[in-house]
Structure 1
Amino acid sequence: MSQTSTPARRPTIKEVAKLAGVSFKTVARVVNNEPSVTAERREAVHKAMTMLNYAPNVSARQLASKRSYLLALVFGGGGLDNFARAQTGAIRRCREAGYQLIVEEVVPGSETEVAARLQNARVDGVIVLPPLSFHPPLLEALRERALRYALISPDGGDPIASSVGLDDKLAAKQMTSRLIALGHRDIGFISGGDRRASTYRRIGYRAALETAGIPLRPDLEAEGDFSFKSGEVAARQLLGGPVRPSAIFAANDGMALGVMVAAARLGLRVPEDLSVAGFDDMPYAKLVWPELTTIRRPLREMASTAVDLLLEPEDGRAPHHVVLDFELIERGSTMQRTAP
């Protein structure tokens, strides 16, 4: 005789409560991400849910509240590496909070269509990755659909949106100060255009030079557009100038890689003849040789924080702007400068 397997029974909320040593109402509050639960009890509930493989019934939760328990992550034009890191952080935090994450790619001209789809899906909020976080057509479309959103690394203030970023000025100042500590005085800088992040990174670079008593030299600054090719072109400009820099700090990793290629084509060794530093700590920063010294931008943590911002209740408060820590990662592309 053939035997039919009995479907595994779903654990109940009361079983989770018993294992966690709390009331079932406390479990419900944790599942609904309500603030009135201590960190200790919240952790106990999450641990019990994991041990029992408990998954909240999304449909029931939707019916019992005005929320869909859906968040969206929108990306476009910022590179798949950035997207992958942010998606990982958002998914993990959504899972902890009992939410599901949907993903939408935005291409030029699709802003209104994407906003309409998100509205039809009844998402509770939208996480917007750069460069979309300073893309007016998308932000206007989200506002027209009355969709709540949180911005990652925005290019300016938004009167209705919370955001998460880092202190670009301080990060650039620390990187430049580190190059100065390595004995460099002629330090080139490649900006990424007129974006807010690039502007602040230039300010931080100049501030470090000023603090160290090193005169600013316009011929040691060049303009890029955050692309690899622009970094290569700008590096050729700097390295062919009246004073050849012993170090170049590029406002992102893509341009820094362009600097390394330009140096190689000019017969210069990195870091013996030219130290190179970037910004962002993209995955390829560890795939080049020598590995790239850079500032680590914590995109996973930024996306996780953006989820938290969207889970906060809407009660008429002003937007919340969070600044996360960065890390200076020193690798083989920079070294102590030896006397010429």
Structure 2
Amino acid sequence: MEQQKQNDSAISGATIYDVARVAGVSAMTVSRVVNGSAQVTDVTRKKVMAALESLNYQVNFAARAARVGTLRVGLLYSNPSEAFLSAFLVGAMDQCGQMGAQLILERCDDLRSQRAAIGKLIANGADGILVPPPLCDTKSALKQLDELGIPTVAVATGRPSPGVSAVRIDDYDGALTMTRHLISLGHTDIGFIKGDPKHTPAQARYQAFVDGMKEAGLEVRPERVAEGMFTYRSGMAAARQLLGQESRPSAIFACNDDMAVAVIAVAHGLHLQLPDELTVCGFDDTPVATTVWPELTTIHQPIGDMARAAVDLLVEQIRRRRVGEEKLVQHKLLPFTLVERESSTRH
């Protein structure tokens, strides 16, 4: 017990027992929070974090490393949206920093490089791997990681695999909320730009748009639907297709912010007055949503929080594996919000 107390002591001089007393919880609960265990309720975690802050408790990562060894979190990425990846990286690095873990990144672009990238992460000592979109929906990647017995957490998948822990939002409900919002503003002629067809959230968002239009008794005209790949460039091509028609839609709902921002750029090039002549909205609420004019109405997907939660789940898996505990698969659903800005108005 005394050794545990010494190991969990803080650089500031406060001990884990001091924190437990202030938070009104057990020392074991404080230890779980400090070590990133997912088996703590959000309410309890907040109480402990408040106590840690009030006591200026700083985790002695050197002591923890001596006890459990260095944690290395691998990140396998191949995301065409730089805005999404940037927000995800900030969250993942922040959480890894708080937990004393190292974040190792490896990019892949196709099936061949995917297998090599996974092998490189493992060779570099990754104890577990985060898989953000679109790789979170790549069966070959998840299968390879499962066969290797590597702890894995998929992020932002529309259909979590039963055997893989995941963090996500309800993409269908988010897109349905946006579709209903546009209709409530009086828009009946709405264009839609799809995302990568291999990505399950893109499929869910489009289906929600279709269902929302039908719910309101509105037709989804084929010429009002354009293909996209979540990239700015694909968004520009789709926008030119939709806005180059003889009669334009009064609103365009793009499957992510990158493509929505491309729509705004094309609309400016056509000298359209936004949002009076065209309402534009997106999905994700990445930083780019507030760096354009007019600022973008969008669905806020808490990407940074999703990354932090994914690191939490992954570290818990790694811990369980190290002590020989049974694998625990957890699916965490985070809330989304509709953020209304200047790019949308009543029609």
Range class of TM-score, shorter chain: 0.7 to 0.9
Partners of 2:248 and 2:332 lie apart in 1 by 39
Tell me the TM-score normalised to structure 1 length.
0.81
- Of 232, 235, 242, the residue aligned with 1:238 is 242
Report the CA distance shift for 1:32/1:265 in structure 2 as closer, same or farther (over 3 A): closer
Within the alignment, does 1:77 sit opposite 2:76 as a pair? no
SS at match of 1:199: helix
Identity over aligned residues, as a percent? 34
Letter of the 1:325 counterpart: P
**Match of residue 177 from structure 2:** 174
Which of 111, 114, 128 is residue 111 of structure 1 equivalent to? 114
Residue 257 of structure 2 corresponds to residue 265 of structure 1: no
Does structure 1 residue 222 correspond to structure 2 residue 226?
Answer: yes
8 Å CA contact retained: 2:76, 2:108? no
Match of 2:338 in 1: 328
Q: Post-superposition shift, 1:299? A: 0.8
Instruction: Write out per-residue CA displacement over residues 3-31 of structure 1, whole angstroms, 9 at most, x where no aligned residue.
Output: xxxxxxx9579851453355876665554
- Give the secondary-structure state (helix, strand or coil) at the position aligned to 2:283: coil
More displaced, 314-323 or 29-38? Answer: 29-38
Correspondences of 1:21-40 after superposition (within 5 Å): 28=31, 30-33=33-36, 35=39, 39=45
Matches within 5 A, 1:34-183: 35=39, 39=45, 42-43=48-49, 46-47=52-53, 50-51=56-57, 54-62=60-68, 68-96=70-98, 98-108=99-109, 109-136=112-139, 138-154=141-157, 156-183=159-186
Find the aligned partners of 1:167 and 1:146 in 2 and give their Cα distance.
28
| Residue 45 (structure 1) shift | 6.3
Counterparts of 2:213 and 2:13 in 1: how far apart (Å)? 62
Superposed CA deviations along residues 187-237 of structure 1, whole A, max 9, x for unmatched, are 111112413211111111112212222233222212122222222222222
Provide TM-score, normalisation by structure 2: 0.80
Give how far 1:32 is off: 4.3
CA distance in 2, matches of 1:12, 1:286: 39
Deviation at 1:110, TM superposition (A): 4.0
AA partner of residue 237 (structure 1): Q
1:204 has 2:214 as partner: no
CA contact (8 A) 1:163 1:322 kept: yes
CA contact under 8 A between 2:176 and 2:208: conserved in structure 1? yes
Based on CA coordinates, which of the two structures has the bigger radius of gyration? 1
Alpha-carbon distance change, 11 to 204 in structure 1, aligned in 2, over 3 angstroms: closer
